Amino acid sequence: MGELMPAIPMFEPTYDKSRLSIDHQALILRLQDNALGRLTTLDPNGNKVKYSMSTNDIRCAEILLRKVLPDHSTLTLDTGKGNLPIVFNITA
């Protein structure tokens, strides 16, 4: 029989590229402005009008932020003393 070849991925994962393209700072600022009632837009006459983000807008921002910001629900620290890591479980 022939020699088995190692599996080679057919495409390059773009997860890191996608994460870099998400502007998390802008999302956080937009969510903060929404929470404080500071979002404005222009109406057809050119006047500033206050508005708030829809539930879908807020959920989309949350999903994108979860992709770029680390989840700190479990944090493992290596103390360098043997193989005994310290695990902190943070619950909100």
Domain boundaries, the chain: 15-89
Express each pLDDT in 55-91 by its tens digit.
999 999 999 888 888 776 665 666 666 666 666 666 6
Buried b (16+ CB within 10 A) or exposed e, 50-83: eeebeeeeeeebeebeeeeeeeeeeeeeeeeeee
Residue 61: per-residue pLDDT: 93
**Confidence class of residue 29 from pLDDT cuts 50, 70 and 90?**
very high
What CA–CA distance (Å, rounded) separates 74 from 86? 10
Residue 43: per-residue pLDDT: 93
Residue 19: per-residue pLDDT: 72
From 37-46, 48-57, 72-81, the region with the lowest mean pLDDT: 72-81
- Going from the C-alpha of 57 to that of each of 19, 28, 74, 83, the distances in angstroms are 19, 12, 28, 44
